[in-house]
A and B are shown apart, each in its own frame.
Chain A
Amino acid sequence: MSRFDDLDAESLYAGLLAGVRGLLGPGAALVGIWSGGAWLAERLQRDLGLPGEAGVISSALHRDDFSRRGLAGADPTRLPFEVEGSHVVLVDDVLHTGRTIRAVVNELYDFGRPASVQLAVLVDRKGRELPIEATCAIARVDLPAGQRLSLARDASGRLSFEIR
Protein backbone atom coordinates (compact mmCIF):
# COMPACT_ATOMS: atom_id res chain seq x y z
CA MET A 1 0.00 0.00 0.00
CA SER A 2 1.24 3.46 -0.92
CA ARG A 3 0.48 6.65 0.99
CA PHE A 4 -1.14 9.56 -0.84
CA ASP A 5 2.10 11.54 -0.60
CA ASP A 6 3.83 8.87 -2.67
CA LEU A 7 1.34 9.05 -5.54
CA ASP A 8 3.30 10.77 -8.28
CA ALA A 9 0.94 10.68 -11.25
CA GLU A 10 3.69 11.22 -13.83
CA SER A 11 5.82 8.29 -12.70
CA LEU A 12 2.71 6.09 -12.31
CA TYR A 13 1.83 7.01 -15.90
CA ALA A 14 5.06 5.41 -17.11
CA GLY A 15 3.91 2.19 -15.42
CA LEU A 16 0.47 2.46 -16.99
CA LEU A 17 2.00 2.92 -20.44
CA ALA A 18 3.95 -0.34 -20.05
CA GLY A 19 0.92 -2.13 -18.56
CA VAL A 20 -1.52 -1.07 -21.30
CA ARG A 21 1.01 -1.99 -24.02
CA GLY A 22 0.81 -5.54 -22.67
CA LEU A 23 -2.99 -5.57 -22.90
CA LEU A 24 -3.21 -4.54 -26.55
CA GLY A 25 -3.87 -7.09 -29.27
CA PRO A 26 -5.56 -7.07 -32.68
CA GLY A 27 -8.89 -5.18 -32.66
CA ALA A 28 -8.05 -3.35 -29.41
CA ALA A 29 -9.49 0.11 -28.73
CA LEU A 30 -8.62 2.48 -25.89
CA VAL A 31 -11.51 4.19 -24.13
CA GLY A 32 -10.93 6.74 -21.37
CA ILE A 33 -13.52 7.30 -18.64
CA TRP A 34 -14.45 11.00 -18.40
CA SER A 35 -12.64 13.05 -17.19
CA GLY A 36 -9.33 11.81 -15.69
CA GLY A 37 -9.37 8.55 -17.64
CA ALA A 38 -9.99 10.43 -20.88
CA TRP A 39 -6.81 12.48 -20.37
CA LEU A 40 -4.85 9.27 -19.76
CA ALA A 41 -6.33 7.50 -22.81
CA GLU A 42 -5.60 10.49 -25.04
CA ARG A 43 -1.95 10.44 -23.97
CA LEU A 44 -1.66 6.64 -24.15
CA GLN A 45 -3.11 6.67 -27.70
CA ARG A 46 -0.33 9.06 -28.72
CA ASP A 47 2.51 7.42 -26.79
CA LEU A 48 1.56 3.94 -28.03
CA GLY A 49 1.44 5.23 -31.62
CA LEU A 50 -2.17 4.09 -32.12
CA PRO A 51 -4.01 5.60 -35.11
CA GLY A 52 -6.93 8.02 -34.67
CA GLU A 53 -8.36 9.21 -31.40
CA ALA A 54 -9.05 7.31 -28.20
CA GLY A 55 -12.69 6.90 -27.22
CA VAL A 56 -14.26 8.84 -24.35
CA ILE A 57 -16.99 7.33 -22.22
CA SER A 58 -19.21 8.95 -19.61
CA SER A 59 -21.02 7.21 -16.76
CA ALA A 60 -23.60 10.01 -16.45
CA LEU A 61 -26.53 8.29 -18.18
CA HIS A 62 -26.20 5.02 -16.23
CA ARG A 63 -25.30 6.16 -12.73
CA ASP A 64 -27.12 4.49 -9.83
CA ASP A 65 -26.97 7.68 -7.73
CA PHE A 66 -28.72 9.77 -10.40
CA SER A 67 -31.66 10.60 -8.12
CA ARG A 68 -29.23 12.09 -5.59
CA ARG A 69 -26.61 13.62 -7.86
CA GLY A 70 -28.61 14.56 -10.92
CA LEU A 71 -26.87 14.93 -14.25
CA ALA A 72 -23.35 16.11 -13.54
CA GLY A 73 -21.81 18.01 -16.44
CA ALA A 74 -19.89 15.46 -18.46
CA ASP A 75 -18.75 15.22 -22.04
CA PRO A 76 -20.97 12.88 -23.99
CA THR A 77 -19.64 9.46 -24.90
CA ARG A 78 -17.64 9.37 -28.15
CA LEU A 79 -16.59 5.99 -29.48
CA PRO A 80 -14.84 6.41 -32.88
CA PHE A 81 -14.81 2.68 -33.68
CA GLU A 82 -17.23 -0.21 -34.15
CA VAL A 83 -17.99 -1.48 -30.63
CA GLU A 84 -19.49 -4.75 -31.85
CA GLY A 85 -16.76 -7.40 -31.63
CA SER A 86 -14.01 -5.02 -30.46
CA HIS A 87 -11.52 -5.58 -27.63
CA VAL A 88 -12.02 -2.57 -25.37
CA VAL A 89 -9.41 -1.40 -22.88
CA LEU A 90 -11.08 0.99 -20.43
CA VAL A 91 -8.73 3.49 -18.79
CA ASP A 92 -9.42 5.39 -15.57
CA ASP A 93 -7.46 7.32 -12.98
CA VAL A 94 -8.88 5.74 -9.80
CA LEU A 95 -10.81 2.52 -9.18
CA HIS A 96 -12.72 2.87 -5.89
CA THR A 97 -16.25 1.52 -5.30
CA GLY A 98 -16.56 0.03 -8.80
CA ARG A 99 -19.87 1.84 -9.43
CA THR A 100 -18.50 4.05 -12.20
CA ILE A 101 -17.15 0.97 -14.00
CA ARG A 102 -20.55 -0.77 -13.72
CA ALA A 103 -22.25 2.30 -15.24
CA VAL A 104 -19.63 2.66 -17.98
CA VAL A 105 -19.88 -1.01 -19.02
CA ASN A 106 -23.66 -0.56 -19.38
CA GLU A 107 -23.04 2.58 -21.43
CA LEU A 108 -20.62 0.66 -23.65
CA TYR A 109 -23.23 -2.01 -24.36
CA ASP A 110 -25.67 0.64 -25.62
CA PHE A 111 -23.35 0.90 -28.64
CA GLY A 112 -22.88 -2.81 -29.31
CA ARG A 113 -21.47 -6.03 -27.87
CA PRO A 114 -17.70 -5.91 -27.44
CA ALA A 115 -15.70 -9.17 -27.67
CA SER A 116 -13.90 -8.31 -24.41
CA VAL A 117 -13.50 -5.48 -21.92
CA GLN A 118 -10.40 -4.92 -19.77
CA LEU A 119 -9.70 -2.21 -17.23
CA ALA A 120 -6.42 -0.36 -16.64
CA VAL A 121 -6.13 2.21 -13.81
CA LEU A 122 -3.40 4.35 -12.30
CA VAL A 123 -4.58 3.77 -8.74
CA ASP A 124 -6.58 0.97 -7.16
CA ARG A 125 -8.14 2.45 -4.06
CA LYS A 126 -9.54 0.09 -1.44
CA GLY A 127 -13.31 0.22 -0.80
CA ARG A 128 -14.97 -1.88 -3.49
CA GLU A 129 -18.76 -2.16 -3.30
CA LEU A 130 -19.15 -4.35 -6.39
CA PRO A 131 -17.28 -7.45 -7.64
CA ILE A 132 -15.16 -5.49 -10.14
CA GLU A 133 -11.35 -5.64 -10.47
CA ALA A 134 -8.80 -3.95 -12.71
CA THR A 135 -6.80 -6.01 -15.21
CA CYS A 136 -3.90 -3.67 -14.57
CA ALA A 137 -3.40 -1.27 -11.64
CA ILE A 138 -0.13 0.58 -11.04
CA ALA A 139 -0.50 1.62 -7.37
CA ARG A 140 -2.72 0.66 -4.43
CA VAL A 141 -3.84 3.04 -1.67
CA ASP A 142 -6.25 3.00 1.24
CA LEU A 143 -7.90 6.34 2.07
CA PRO A 144 -10.68 7.34 4.50
CA ALA A 145 -14.10 6.81 2.86
CA GLY A 146 -15.08 10.50 2.79
CA GLN A 147 -12.07 11.62 0.79
CA ARG A 148 -12.23 12.04 -2.98
CA LEU A 149 -9.09 11.19 -4.91
CA SER A 150 -8.92 12.37 -8.49
CA LEU A 151 -6.54 13.31 -11.26
CA ALA A 152 -5.86 16.93 -12.22
CA ARG A 153 -4.25 18.24 -15.39
CA ASP A 154 -2.51 21.60 -15.66
CA ALA A 155 -2.17 23.84 -18.73
CA SER A 156 1.03 22.07 -19.85
CA GLY A 157 -0.72 18.67 -19.70
CA ARG A 158 1.14 17.59 -16.54
CA LEU A 159 -0.85 15.17 -14.36
CA SER A 160 -1.08 15.16 -10.56
CA PHE A 161 -3.35 13.69 -7.92
CA GLU A 162 -5.51 15.80 -5.64
CA ILE A 163 -7.58 14.97 -2.57
CA ARG A 164 -10.81 16.76 -1.64
Chain B
Amino acid sequence: MFVARRNPQLNRNDELIHLLSIEGLPASIVLHILDTAGTFLSVNDRDVKKVPLLRGKSVFNLFFENSTRTRTTFEIAAKRLSADVINLDIARSSTAKGESLLDTIANLSAMHADMFVVRHSQSGAPYLIARHCAPHVHVVNAGDGRHSHPTQGLLDMYTIRHYKKDFTQLVVAIVGDIVHSRVARSDIHALTTLGVPEIRAVGPKTLVPGDLKEMGVRVCHDMSEGIRGADVVIMLRLQNERMNGAMLPSAGEFFKTFGLTAEKLALAKPDAIVMHPGPINRGVEIDSSVADGSQSVILPQVTYGIAVRMAVMSIIAGNTA
Protein backbone atom coordinates (compact mmCIF):
# COMPACT_ATOMS: atom_id res chain seq x y z
CA MET B 1 0.00 0.00 0.00
CA PHE B 2 1.26 3.43 -0.87
CA VAL B 3 1.30 5.86 2.03
CA ALA B 4 1.99 9.45 1.08
CA ARG B 5 4.58 10.92 3.43
CA ARG B 6 3.87 14.44 4.45
CA ASN B 7 6.57 17.06 4.25
CA PRO B 8 7.76 16.99 7.91
CA GLN B 9 8.29 20.77 7.84
CA LEU B 10 4.59 21.52 7.33
CA ASN B 11 1.51 20.98 9.50
CA ARG B 12 -1.88 19.81 8.25
CA ASN B 13 -2.70 23.31 7.04
CA ASP B 14 0.57 23.43 5.06
CA GLU B 15 2.05 25.98 7.45
CA LEU B 16 5.74 25.94 8.30
CA ILE B 17 6.48 24.38 11.73
CA HIS B 18 10.15 23.45 11.23
CA LEU B 19 12.72 24.69 8.72
CA LEU B 20 14.74 21.66 7.63
CA SER B 21 15.36 22.22 3.93
CA ILE B 22 14.25 24.53 1.12
CA GLU B 23 13.64 21.47 -1.05
CA GLY B 24 9.91 20.79 -1.16
CA LEU B 25 8.83 24.20 0.17
CA PRO B 26 6.28 25.98 -2.01
CA ALA B 27 7.32 29.36 -3.45
CA SER B 28 4.55 31.02 -1.40
CA ILE B 29 6.25 30.04 1.89
CA VAL B 30 9.69 31.10 0.63
CA LEU B 31 8.30 34.49 -0.41
CA HIS B 32 6.41 34.89 2.86
CA ILE B 33 9.70 34.38 4.73
CA LEU B 34 11.43 36.99 2.53
CA ASP B 35 8.58 39.49 3.02
CA THR B 36 8.61 38.97 6.78
CA ALA B 37 12.39 39.45 6.83
CA GLY B 38 11.81 42.83 5.19
CA THR B 39 9.63 43.84 8.15
CA PHE B 40 12.32 42.76 10.60
CA LEU B 41 15.07 44.60 8.75
CA SER B 42 13.32 47.86 9.65
CA VAL B 43 13.49 46.94 13.35
CA ASN B 44 17.19 47.90 13.16
CA ASP B 45 16.18 51.53 12.57
CA ARG B 46 14.24 51.85 15.83
CA ASP B 47 15.33 53.17 19.18
CA VAL B 48 14.33 49.79 20.63
CA LYS B 49 15.83 47.07 18.39
CA LYS B 50 13.77 44.29 19.90
CA VAL B 51 10.28 42.90 19.43
CA PRO B 52 8.48 40.67 21.93
CA LEU B 53 7.31 37.87 19.61
CA LEU B 54 9.32 35.10 21.31
CA ARG B 55 9.19 36.56 24.81
CA GLY B 56 9.20 33.73 27.36
CA LYS B 57 10.43 31.16 24.82
CA SER B 58 13.72 29.31 25.12
CA VAL B 59 15.81 28.80 22.01
CA PHE B 60 18.57 26.19 22.31
CA ASN B 61 21.48 26.50 19.89
CA LEU B 62 22.73 22.93 19.41
CA PHE B 63 25.97 23.08 17.49
CA PHE B 64 27.32 19.56 17.12
CA GLU B 65 29.72 21.08 14.62
CA ASN B 66 31.44 24.41 15.21
CA SER B 67 30.35 27.59 13.49
CA THR B 68 30.81 30.79 15.42
CA ARG B 69 29.30 33.01 12.77
CA THR B 70 26.10 31.09 12.11
CA ARG B 71 25.58 30.48 15.82
CA THR B 72 26.07 34.17 16.57
CA THR B 73 23.60 35.33 13.92
CA PHE B 74 20.97 32.89 15.22
CA GLU B 75 21.66 34.12 18.74
CA ILE B 76 21.26 37.78 17.74
CA ALA B 77 18.09 36.97 15.80
CA ALA B 78 16.54 35.10 18.74
CA LYS B 79 17.50 37.86 21.17
CA ARG B 80 15.98 40.57 18.93
CA LEU B 81 12.77 38.51 19.15
CA SER B 82 13.13 38.58 22.98
CA ALA B 83 13.74 34.83 23.37
CA ASP B 84 16.07 33.40 25.98
CA VAL B 85 19.00 31.82 24.17
CA ILE B 86 21.02 28.93 25.48
CA ASN B 87 24.18 28.01 23.58
CA LEU B 88 25.33 24.44 23.95
CA ASP B 89 28.72 23.41 22.78
CA ILE B 90 27.55 19.85 22.33
CA ALA B 91 30.71 18.69 20.59
CA ARG B 92 32.59 19.16 23.85
CA SER B 93 29.95 17.97 26.33
CA SER B 94 27.32 15.22 26.39
CA THR B 95 28.10 13.63 23.05
CA ALA B 96 31.73 13.36 24.05
CA LYS B 97 30.54 11.40 27.08
CA GLY B 98 28.65 9.00 24.85
CA GLU B 99 25.05 10.31 25.06
CA SER B 100 22.95 9.62 21.97
CA LEU B 101 21.43 12.47 19.96
CA LEU B 102 17.86 11.62 20.96
CA ASP B 103 18.82 11.34 24.65
CA THR B 104 20.37 14.80 24.44
CA ILE B 105 17.13 16.12 22.91
CA ALA B 106 14.99 14.39 25.54
CA ASN B 107 17.05 15.98 28.31
CA LEU B 108 16.90 19.45 26.81
CA SER B 109 13.15 19.08 26.25
CA ALA B 110 12.84 18.33 29.97
CA MET B 111 14.42 21.77 30.47
CA HIS B 112 11.45 23.24 28.55
CA ALA B 113 13.09 24.07 25.26
CA ASP B 114 10.75 25.65 22.70
CA MET B 115 13.07 25.69 19.72
CA PHE B 116 16.22 23.87 18.64
CA VAL B 117 18.64 25.43 16.18
CA VAL B 118 20.72 22.48 15.01
CA ARG B 119 24.07 22.28 13.23
CA HIS B 120 25.28 18.73 12.67
CA SER B 121 27.91 17.03 10.52
CA GLN B 122 25.47 14.23 9.68
CA SER B 123 22.96 14.93 6.93
CA GLY B 124 19.43 14.41 8.23
CA ALA B 125 20.13 14.94 11.94
CA PRO B 126 17.64 17.86 12.19
CA TYR B 127 14.94 15.63 10.60
CA LEU B 128 15.52 12.99 13.26
CA ILE B 129 15.15 15.62 15.99
CA ALA B 130 12.02 17.10 14.39
CA ARG B 131 10.45 13.64 14.23
CA HIS B 132 11.09 12.87 17.90
CA CYS B 133 10.61 16.18 19.69
CA ALA B 134 7.43 17.24 21.53
CA PRO B 135 4.66 18.74 19.35
CA HIS B 136 5.18 22.29 20.64
CA VAL B 137 8.91 22.24 19.86
CA HIS B 138 10.25 23.72 16.60
CA VAL B 139 13.47 22.80 14.80
CA VAL B 140 15.62 24.97 12.54
CA ASN B 141 18.35 23.35 10.48
CA ALA B 142 21.49 25.49 10.74
CA GLY B 143 23.42 23.19 8.40
CA ASP B 144 23.49 19.39 8.24
CA GLY B 145 26.38 17.57 6.60
CA ARG B 146 26.47 18.12 2.86
CA HIS B 147 22.71 18.22 2.72
CA SER B 148 21.21 21.59 3.45
CA HIS B 149 21.69 25.05 4.97
CA PRO B 150 18.26 26.55 4.43
CA THR B 151 18.66 29.88 6.25
CA GLN B 152 21.79 30.63 4.19
CA GLY B 153 19.82 29.79 1.04
CA LEU B 154 17.01 32.11 2.16
CA LEU B 155 19.30 35.00 3.02
CA ASP B 156 20.94 34.60 -0.38
CA MET B 157 17.47 34.84 -1.96
CA TYR B 158 16.70 37.92 0.13
CA THR B 159 19.95 39.52 -1.07
CA ILE B 160 19.29 38.67 -4.72
CA ARG B 161 15.73 40.00 -4.53
CA HIS B 162 16.92 43.18 -2.84
CA TYR B 163 19.35 43.98 -5.67
CA LYS B 164 17.66 42.35 -8.67
CA LYS B 165 13.92 42.55 -7.77
CA ASP B 166 12.77 39.83 -10.20
CA PHE B 167 14.02 36.23 -10.24
CA THR B 168 12.54 35.18 -13.56
CA GLN B 169 15.12 36.80 -15.88
CA LEU B 170 18.31 36.01 -13.99
CA VAL B 171 21.49 34.13 -14.76
CA VAL B 172 23.07 32.97 -11.49
CA ALA B 173 26.56 31.43 -11.38
CA ILE B 174 27.63 29.43 -8.32
CA VAL B 175 31.39 28.97 -8.33
CA GLY B 176 33.66 26.59 -6.43
CA ASP B 177 33.21 23.44 -4.40
CA ILE B 178 29.61 22.67 -5.34
CA VAL B 179 29.61 18.96 -4.55
CA HIS B 180 30.46 19.32 -0.86
CA SER B 181 28.47 22.50 -0.34
CA ARG B 182 25.16 22.50 1.51
CA VAL B 183 24.96 26.21 0.69
CA ALA B 184 25.10 25.46 -3.05
CA ARG B 185 22.43 22.77 -2.68
CA SER B 186 20.11 25.11 -0.75
CA ASP B 187 20.72 27.94 -3.21
CA ILE B 188 19.97 25.71 -6.20
CA HIS B 189 16.69 24.51 -4.67
CA ALA B 190 15.66 28.05 -3.72
CA LEU B 191 16.58 29.58 -7.08
CA THR B 192 14.67 26.82 -8.88
CA THR B 193 11.62 27.30 -6.63
CA LEU B 194 11.64 31.05 -7.34
CA GLY B 195 11.80 30.54 -11.10
CA VAL B 196 15.39 31.47 -12.00
CA PRO B 197 15.79 30.31 -15.62
CA GLU B 198 19.56 29.73 -15.67
CA ILE B 199 21.63 28.40 -12.78
CA ARG B 200 25.26 27.57 -13.52
CA ALA B 201 27.50 25.36 -11.39
CA VAL B 202 31.07 26.42 -12.10
CA GLY B 203 34.26 24.66 -10.99
CA PRO B 204 36.72 21.82 -11.67
CA LYS B 205 35.43 18.33 -12.47
CA THR B 206 36.44 17.03 -9.03
CA LEU B 207 34.20 19.60 -7.31
CA VAL B 208 31.47 20.00 -9.93
CA PRO B 209 30.58 16.55 -11.25
CA GLY B 210 28.52 16.27 -14.42
CA ASP B 211 25.58 14.55 -12.71
CA LEU B 212 24.72 17.89 -11.05
CA LYS B 213 22.80 18.44 -14.31
CA GLU B 214 20.06 16.35 -12.74
CA MET B 215 19.38 19.24 -10.36
CA GLY B 216 18.53 21.37 -13.39
CA VAL B 217 21.76 23.35 -13.46
CA ARG B 218 24.18 24.03 -16.30
CA VAL B 219 27.59 22.58 -15.44
CA CYS B 220 30.59 24.69 -16.52
CA HIS B 221 34.18 23.56 -16.06
CA ASP B 222 35.41 26.74 -17.70
CA MET B 223 35.37 29.88 -15.54
CA SER B 224 34.93 32.35 -18.42
CA GLU B 225 32.00 30.39 -19.79
CA GLY B 226 30.49 30.14 -16.30
CA ILE B 227 30.72 33.84 -15.47
CA ARG B 228 29.90 35.38 -18.85
CA GLY B 229 26.67 37.40 -18.76
CA ALA B 230 25.81 36.43 -15.16
CA ASP B 231 23.62 38.74 -13.04
CA VAL B 232 24.68 37.13 -9.78
CA VAL B 233 27.97 35.41 -8.93
CA ILE B 234 27.94 33.32 -5.75
CA MET B 235 31.44 32.32 -4.67
CA LEU B 236 31.78 29.41 -2.26
CA ARG B 237 34.47 28.98 0.35
CA LEU B 238 37.13 26.49 -0.61
CA GLN B 239 37.45 24.18 2.37
CA ASN B 240 41.04 23.39 3.22
CA GLU B 241 40.33 19.71 3.84
CA ARG B 242 39.49 19.34 0.13
CA MET B 243 43.03 20.30 -0.73
CA ASN B 244 44.41 17.48 1.39
CA GLY B 245 41.98 15.02 -0.16
CA ALA B 246 43.74 15.22 -3.55
CA MET B 247 40.73 16.90 -5.14
CA LEU B 248 42.79 19.96 -5.99
CA PRO B 249 46.45 20.50 -6.78
CA SER B 250 46.89 23.63 -4.61
CA ALA B 251 45.17 26.80 -3.40
CA GLY B 252 47.31 28.87 -5.77
CA GLU B 253 46.32 26.72 -8.72
CA PHE B 254 42.63 26.99 -7.83
CA PHE B 255 42.83 30.78 -7.56
CA LYS B 256 44.47 31.02 -10.97
CA THR B 257 41.68 29.05 -12.63
CA PHE B 258 38.52 29.69 -10.58
CA GLY B 259 39.38 32.53 -8.20
CA LEU B 260 37.25 35.61 -8.82
CA THR B 261 39.39 38.55 -9.93
CA ALA B 262 38.26 41.91 -11.32
CA GLU B 263 39.34 40.71 -14.75
CA LYS B 264 37.09 37.63 -14.63
CA LEU B 265 34.23 39.55 -13.06
CA ALA B 266 34.30 41.91 -16.06
CA LEU B 267 32.83 39.03 -18.10
CA ALA B 268 29.63 39.14 -16.03
CA LYS B 269 26.95 41.79 -16.55
CA PRO B 270 28.21 45.27 -15.59
CA ASP B 271 25.68 45.43 -12.73
CA ALA B 272 26.33 41.87 -11.52
CA ILE B 273 26.51 41.37 -7.76
CA VAL B 274 29.11 39.20 -6.01
CA MET B 275 28.02 37.09 -3.04
CA HIS B 276 29.83 34.79 -0.63
CA PRO B 277 28.48 32.91 2.42
CA GLY B 278 31.69 33.65 4.37
CA PRO B 279 34.16 33.28 5.84
CA ILE B 280 36.07 34.37 2.75
CA ASN B 281 39.57 33.15 1.88
CA ARG B 282 41.18 36.14 0.22
CA GLY B 283 43.46 35.05 -2.60
CA VAL B 284 42.01 31.51 -2.69
CA GLU B 285 38.50 31.81 -4.14
CA ILE B 286 38.20 35.59 -4.29
CA ASP B 287 40.58 38.50 -4.81
CA SER B 288 40.54 41.27 -2.21
CA SER B 289 39.78 43.91 -4.85
CA VAL B 290 36.55 42.03 -5.69
CA ALA B 291 35.61 41.15 -2.10
CA ASP B 292 35.94 44.82 -1.12
CA GLY B 293 34.77 46.20 -4.48
CA SER B 294 31.60 48.05 -5.43
CA GLN B 295 29.84 44.93 -6.77
CA SER B 296 30.39 42.96 -3.56
CA VAL B 297 27.30 42.49 -1.36
CA ILE B 298 29.02 40.14 1.08
CA LEU B 299 28.48 42.34 4.15
CA PRO B 300 24.82 43.18 3.37
CA GLN B 301 24.31 39.39 3.22
CA VAL B 302 25.33 39.20 6.88
CA THR B 303 22.85 41.94 7.87
CA TYR B 304 20.03 40.33 5.90
CA GLY B 305 20.91 36.98 7.47
CA ILE B 306 19.78 38.19 10.89
CA ALA B 307 16.46 39.49 9.55
CA VAL B 308 15.86 36.24 7.63
CA ARG B 309 16.56 34.15 10.75
CA MET B 310 14.19 36.35 12.77
CA ALA B 311 11.54 35.74 10.10
CA VAL B 312 12.04 31.96 10.12
CA MET B 313 11.94 31.69 13.91
CA SER B 314 8.90 33.91 14.33
CA ILE B 315 6.94 32.21 11.56
CA ILE B 316 7.51 28.65 12.81
CA ALA B 317 6.88 29.70 16.43
CA GLY B 318 3.51 31.12 15.36
CA ASN B 319 2.36 27.84 13.80
CA THR B 320 1.39 24.72 15.73
CA ALA B 321 1.91 21.10 14.82
A-side residues, CB < 8 A to B, are 58, 60-62, 66-67, 69-71, 73-74, 76-77, 106, 109-112
Contacts and interface: CB of A to CB of B under 8 A. Distances in A.
A71 B315 contact: yes
B315 A73 contact: no
Given A67-B318, A110-B46, A111-B46, A73 B35 contact: yes
Instruction: Kindly list the 9 A-B residue pairs having the minimum CB-CB distance in the complex, ordered from nearest.
Output: A70-B318, A110-B48, A61-B51, A76-B39, A110-B46, A76-B42, A111-B46, A66-B53, A112-B47
A60 B39 contact: yes
B52 interface: yes
18 contacts: A58-B39, A61-B39, A61-B53, A66-B318, A67-B318, A70-B15, A70-B318, A70-B319, A71-B36, A71-B318, A76-B38, A76-B42, A109-B48, A110-B48, A110-B50, A111-B46, A111-B48, A112-B47
Interface of B: 15, 32, 35-36, 38-39, 42-43, 46-48, 50-53, 314-315, 317-319
A71 B48 CA distance: 20
A111 B42 CA distance: 11
B78 to A, nearest CB: 15
B26 to A, nearest CB: 16
Contacts of A70: 15, 315, 318-319
B72 to A, nearest CB: 23
B47 A111 contact: yes
A58, A69, A71, A106: most-surrounded residue (chain B CB, <10 A): A71
B286 to A, nearest CB: 34
Contacts of A62: 51-52
B47 A110 contact: yes
Contacts of B53: 61, 66, 71
A83 B47 CA distance: 10
Contacts of B35: 73
Contacts of B52: 61-62, 106
Given A70-B15, A70-B318, A76-B42, 4 more contacts: A62-B52, A67-B317, A71-B53, A110-B50
Contacts of A106: 52
A76 B53 CA distance: 15
Contacts of A74: 39
A40 to B, nearest CB: 22
Contacts of A109: 48
A123 to B, nearest CB: 28
A20 to B, nearest CB: 26
Contacts of B314: 71
Nearest to B311: A71
A108 to B, nearest CB: 10
Contacts of B39: 58, 60-61, 71, 74, 76
Contacts of B43: 61
A67 B320 CA distance: 8
Contacts of B47: 110-112
A71 B46 CA distance: 19
Nearest to B45: A111
B187 to A, nearest CB: 25
Contacts of B318: 66-67, 69-71
A164 B244 CA distance: 66
A76 B44 CA distance: 13
A61 B38 CA distance: 13
Contacts of B36: 71
Nearest to A79: B46
A58, A69, A70, A111: most-surrounded residue (chain B CB, <10 A): A70
